[in-house]
Each structure stands twice: as structure tokens, then as C-alpha cells.
Structure 1
Amino acid sequence: MDARRLSYFACILEEGSITAAAARLRLSQPALTKAMKLLEEELGVVLFERTMTGISPTTYGDALYSRAKAVLSELQRAEEEIATLRGMAGERFRIGALPTLTASVVARAVNEVSRRFPDLQIRIQEGQTQTLFRALRRRELDLCLVYSGNVVGEHGFESHVIFRDQLKVVAGARHPLATRPVVTVADLVPYPWCSAVTGNWPLVQHMFQAAGFEPAQPRVDPGGAVQFLKALVSTSDLLAVLPLHAFVGERARGELVVLPIDSIALDREIVALRPKEPELPASGRALLAALSRAALAPLTESAA
């Protein structure tokens, strides 16, 4: 089976159409269509279904996709290892992280480790917990940072606790509640919300329900766009829940404020998951340590 055709096949499913995949691969649509026809003829099955919204896999396509990604990932790792042995490339590390972590904790850690290991090549993939977890299972990532409560208990990976994520109810500096010395859950009831970018809306609901209220349904879903969420909240009466480390700059500039809600704990544990084999290289161990330091830095600064 041709590895190149497998990569084309995976790209089509990921992009959702022949047109988008051809653009990403820089191929003509006829050439890509012909390659897929040859792959289907080789396997003797139909791999795609064409719908009104694009292309989706058949049962055979689903079965091939997960294995194709594993094969392609292993081929990439083999090429990287051979290149390293030949002295053609430095060590590579692939990290997956939640959107609220990439621009803060991960960026600081990568900067630190890059100075210590100048030949280390690092690739970042941003996504939600389950997406990253699946990518780790397919060996597309070497490490992922996720909420511990959002992954199954017996997952078969090494787990390293990185830090305790301090989630806060956030408002714009001009919000009617921004200058209150104390804010109760009842005070929050009249105001609209942005849907949480990291799957923490159930925590907001629990906070309200524990106090005998129901929150207004989120007016805006940022779809994982943290910068958009922060900009929107800072210029409106919308409320949101964000990790403390994710808005240090906006807080320092007076654009966002933490609402002082008594007796509310929205903390979550962030863990780094990685395969048990092979053993982490020195750069990987340094990265784990740097992630913990990078996570604690803004929390220490905010307490000062």
C-alpha cells in the first residue's frame, strides 16, 4: 500500500472535501481523485461517501483512517530518527495543549527549553481534551496537556501533574460588577455569558445550581478562540470563566477583572500525558519541569 496515497486519503477526511485537500496538498483535483480511485481499487472497497456537506468516510474508510494515521505517524518518527542519527536534524517533540494554555504556559515553557536545547524542534497542536487524547493514542503527539477529569481513569499513559488550574469568573473593567468588593452568585444572574472555551460550562452551571439559581444560557460560543473571548468580554457585559494564567496581560492592563465571588472554587488539575515508551529524553524532562514553572509564575505574580 502506497504511503503517499494513505496521506492523501487522511488529508481528504480531515479537510472534508477533495477541493480543500487538493489545495492543502498542492495537487490538482483530478490527480487527487485518481490517487483515491487507485487506493479503492487496491483495497476493493469504497472509502468515501459524498454528501451535501462534503465527504465522509464509509465504514471501510473509518477503519482505514485510524490505522493510516498510526502508520503515517510511525513513518514520520522513523524518518526523524534516521535524520537525527545521520546528523541532519535535531530532536523533535510534538506537544498538544488546550487553547487557554498555548499562549501562556506552553509558550513560556517552550521559550525556556529552546534556549537550553537550541537544536530541539517543537511542534504545537491546539485542541480540546478529547481531540488531543485521541491524537496521543494515534501517536501523533509525544505529550499532551489536558484536564485530568476529562480523560478516562485507566488510559495506559504516563501522567504527570503539572499544576492546579485556577479558574476565575471574569468581566470587563467597565462591567457593572467590576468594582464590587464582593460579588454573590445572585449578582451574576442578570448577566449573559460567553460559553467556556475549555469545556468548563458545567462548572458554571454547578456554581449557580448550588446557590439555587440557573445561569442564562451562553450568548456566544467562542469555539476555542481564547483571544476572541477575552476581547469580547473586555468590551461588553458578557461574563466568562477563564484560567488565571490565560489573562495575566489583560488584567495588568486593566482590561479584564476577576470578580471576587466568595466560597467558589473552580479549580482543575492539569496533567501531562505521554506514552510509557520510549523513555523521555533530557529535553522532554526539561520541558515537563519548564511547564510546571511556567504555570506557577503568573499565579505567584498575581498573589504578590
Structure 2
Amino acid sequence: MDLRQLQYFASIVDAGSFSRAAAALNLAQPSLSRQVALLEADLGQRLLTRTGRGVTPTEAGEALLVHARAMLDIAQRARDELRELHASPGGRVVVGLPPRVASRVSAPLVQRFRAQFPRAVITVSEGLSLHLREWLVAGRLDLALLFDPPASPQLDYRVLTHDPLVLVAPPGHPRLPARVGLAALSNYPLVLPSAPNAIRSLVDAALRPRRVELQVVAEVGAVQTVLSLVAQGVGCTLLPETAVQLADGRPALQCARIGPPVIRNSLVLAVPRARPATRLTRETAQLLCELDFGGTRARGGQPR
């Protein structure tokens, strides 16, 4: 006994004849008769009685019909549920975001995720790129956005944006030129993110070979705090251009381009190589790639 035979049997009872049921099922009548015969042989019971006007179920057929309809209904609900799962997977995905990125994209990311995956849950974990990278390798995150991470055999990277660094000065500071060379950065008192920090590492890596010594008057951990100190006149800073947008609501800060060469802060999508990606993580990664992070979009989302 299988579901197909039960479906044929129920269809014959509903149609009241083998010929009408065969036409509805798009089957040859001999094939339909053979399947019913196999079902009767399997159960050891005669299920249908032929009459001059068609067929009617026997007592055993009536008893089987109740179970057949229940089993067919359960099978259909299982198919519908699996189709729904295919259309909208469930589960949980954990995404790591640096604070500067999280403040900009967490709301649109969660809104789009909820619209696309109503059965799933997204968790956003914030942290410095260094820590997010460690959590990703350790399996605490499914995917993460990182600033300028070092190469890793355990992670695949896809570059999303490039963002040039600028010199940022308080409103009352003498007017900045349109562009400041790298060597001239030593003339400005600076408030910089403290190590380990992707921006600080980027600046140090660009200036160390040129033997440029910076006047660092304060080191703090968060970009928001850096901007607050600059707005209060403590010093200038070096930040990605889009990071200056975090200073909204404060007095207008001055900005000047740096270089040549230009120092660029890259935002990359990182995924672990060892763990197979589920459909939910793959499509969440695509959602991340489509968000607006500011900066210059990398051409085609370059792998790295």
C-alpha cells in the first residue's frame, strides 16, 4: 500500500467509476484497475463492488476510505509545509558588524531580513573588526563585515566599498587646505582611535614607511568619541569620509582630502570557508551586499 494507490482508490470512489477516474487522473483504465487490484491483494480485502451504474466501496472500502483521506491530507500538508520552508527558510543567522557600520545599516538590514525571511531570526553582534574576525573563525558568527582585515586561510573576503580617509578639524581651527600631503599630517595635533583598530592600523601602515611621526594628543576606542573630542577642539583626526557623517548634530567640522597617495578604508564581507553556507546565510550575505554603506562601491564586489 502506498500513497499513490490510496489516491487512485479515493479518486475512483469520488468519481463513481473507473473510466471517469482514469480520465481525471490522465491514466489508462487498465493501469488504474491494476493498481486497485494490487492494493486489494496487499490488504486481503475487496474494496470496490461493480454495479450497473459504476462502482461503490465495500464495507472494507468504506473503512479504508476514512484512513486514506486522512493520510492523503497529512501528505499534502507536509508538501505544503516543505514548499513554505523552501520559499521562506527558518533558523537563525548571526551577523557581526563594526559599530560605525551597525549605526548606519542595522535598521534597514533587520527590516529587509524580516520582510524576506518571516520565519527566521537575525542576531546582530557589534564589535571591532579584530574581534569580529576572531568570533567568525571561532564559529560565534555566521558572517561579518570587517574593515581591512588581514588575509586568512580560514575566511573568504568580498570587498564591498572603498572609503578615502580625510583630515577632520574642529570648526574653530584655521581653515584647512583642500588637500593635505602625508608628510604634512605631522603638523596637526591628532585624536586617533587606539589600537587595535582598523583605521589606526591603516594610518600607521601608510605613514611608517615614509617615517612620518604624528602628534597624537589622545587615543580613544570609538569613532563617535573621537568626533566628540574633535568637535570640542581637543585636536584633529584622521577618519574615513563616511565616518564624519556620525558627527550629525554637532557644529560643522572641517575636512580635507589626504594624499597622494590616498589612504582608503575598505569594507569587506567575510564568511568562513570551513562551514557550509546554508540558504539563509547565503541570502543574508546578499542582503548585506545590497545595503548602502556610503563610500565608493567596489566594482562587482571584488573577492580578496
TM (normalized to structure 2)?
Answer: 0.56
The residue identity in structure 2 corresponding to 1:161 is V
- Distance (Å, rounded) in 2 between the aligned partners of 1:186 and 1:145: 31
1:176 counterpart residue number: 174
CA offsets 1:265-286 (integer angstroms, 9 cap, x no match): 111332222234332324x334
Percent identical pairs in the alignment equals 25
Name the CA distance, whole Å, in 1 between partners of 2:214 and 2:160: 31
Aligned to 1:289: 286
Distance in 1, matches of 2:104 and 2:294, equals 10
Closer, same or farther in 2 for the Cα pair 1:275/1:161, shift >3 Å? Answer: same
Offset of 1:94 from its aligned partner?
0.9
More strand by share: 2
1:90, distance to aligned residue in structure 2 (A): 5.1
Are the counterparts in 1 of residues 113 and 122 from structure 2 also a CA contact under 8 Å? no
**Pairs within 5 Å for 1:204-243:** 204-208=203-207, 213-216=212-215, 218-223=216-221, 225-243=222-240
Distance 1:243 1:121, change over 3 A: farther
Q: In 2, Cα distance between the equivalents of 1:108 and 1:114?
A: 10
Mapping of residues 48-197 of structure 1, within 5 Å: 91-150=91-150, 152-155=151-154, 157-178=155-176, 180-196=177-193
Residues 91 and 119 in structure 2, CA contact (< 8 A), matched pair in contact too: yes
Name the SS of the counterpart of 1:161 in structure 2: strand
Cα displacement string for residues 219-278 of structure 1 (whole angstroms, at most 9, x for unaligned residues): 22222x222222112221422222333332536976333213341311133222223433
How far 1:164 moved relative to its partner?
2.4
Contact 1:171-1:237 at 8 Å conserved across structures: no
8 Å CA contact 2:169, 2:236 repeated in 1: yes
Query: Hey, what's the Cα distance between the residues in 1 that align with 2:121 and 2:144?
Result: 16
1:289 Cα deviation after fit: 2.9
The answer as to whether partners of 2:193 and 2:223 remain within 8 angstroms in 1 is no
Sort the Cα spacing of 1:204 and 1:280 in 2 relative to 1 into closer, same or farther, 3 A.
same
Q: How far is the alpha carbon of 1:126 from its aligned partner?
A: 1.9
Letter in 2 for 1:190: N
Letter in 2 for 1:138: A
Change in 2 beyond 3 A, CA 1:248/1:290: farther
Are the structure 2 counterparts of residues 168 and 293 from structure 1 closer, same or farther at C-alpha, using a change threshold of 3 Å?
Answer: farther
Distance in 1 of aligned mates of 2:286 and 2:209:
37
Q: CA separation in 1, counterparts of 2:169 and 2:201?
A: 19
The alpha carbon displacement at 1:215 in A equals: 0.9
Cα distance in 2 for partners of 1:205, 1:275 equals 28
Alpha carbons 1:143, 1:272 under 8 Å: kept: yes
Which residue in the other structure is 2:272 paired with? 275
Report SS of the residue matched to 2:198.
coil
Q: Distance in 2 between matches of 1:186 and 1:160?
A: 32
1:134 deviation in Å? 2.0
Hey, what's the Cα distance between the residues in 2 that align with 1:123 and 1:114? 12
Provide the rounded CA distance (Å) in 2 between the counterparts of 1:133 and 1:125: 12
User: 8 Å contact 1:177–1:183 — kept in the other structure?
Assistant: no
1:200: which partner in 2?
A: 199
8 Å contact kept, 1:110–1:287: no
Letter in 2 for 1:201: R
User: CA 1:93–1:265 in structure 2 vs 1: closer, same or farther (change >3 Å)?
Assistant: same
- Range with greater deviation from structure 2 (185-194 or 135-144): 185-194
Question: 1:22-41 residue pairs with structure 2 within 5 A?
Answer: none
Matched position secondary structure for 1:166: strand
Report the alpha carbon displacement of residue 141 of structure 1 after superposing the two structures with TM: 0.9
Match of 1:238, SS? coil
C-alpha deviation, 1:137, in angstroms: 2.2
Q: Distance in 2 between matches of 1:187 and 1:279?
A: 47
CA distance change for structure 1 residues 249 and 273 in 2, over 3 Å: closer, same or farther? Answer: closer
